[in-house]
Structure 1
Amino acid sequence: MQNKVDVAVMIGSGVPETLRALGQKACWVVLLNGEQRGTAYASRDEALECRAAWQALLRLEQPDSLH
């Protein structure tokens, strides 16, 4: 099965209270096959770094025949 790793933006009430208390009106999350993985990020760059880490991990877990 091919895994899909995406970054999505959440705005307004979708932003966790901890970030809203800091004045954040938007946050970014990493989705693995449509399900959130990990925390919400205050910046898109942080979420993109997390996405890259997930993609690298998933490549390592693939059987050798799929590389």
Structure 2
Amino acid sequence: MQSKVDIAVMIGSGVPANLRSMGRKVCWVVLLNGERRGTAFSSREEAQECRAAWLAQLNAERPDSLH
């Protein structure tokens, strides 16, 4: 089964308290097959880097016959 890695945006009360306390009203999270993985990011670019790392790890774990 191929895993799906997405980025979702969280707004308002969905933003973790630590980011809200810094004045953030929006954050981004990485989803693996629809489930949140890791921390919330204060920038989309950080979330994209995390997504790329997940994709690289998942591709490395696939059997050679599927590459």
TM-score, length-scaled by structure 1:
0.99
Residue of structure 1 in register with 2:60 after alignment: 60
Which residue of 1 is the match for residue 2 of structure 2? 2
Matched residues, percent identical?
73
Gapped runs of 5+ residues in structure 1? none
Q: CA deviation at 1:30?
A: 0.2
Q: How many residues align?
A: 67
- Cα root mean square deviation, aligned: 0.3
Q: What SS class does the counterpart of residue 39 from structure 1 fall into?
A: strand
Structure 1 position 57, deviation (Å): 0.2
Normalising to structure 2: TM-score of the pair? 0.99
Q: Deviations over 1:43-63 (max 9, x none)?
A: 000000000000000000000
Local SS of the residue matching 1:50: helix
Moved segments of 4+, more than 2 Å: none
User: Residue type of the partner of 2:39?
Assistant: T
1:52 match: secondary structure: helix
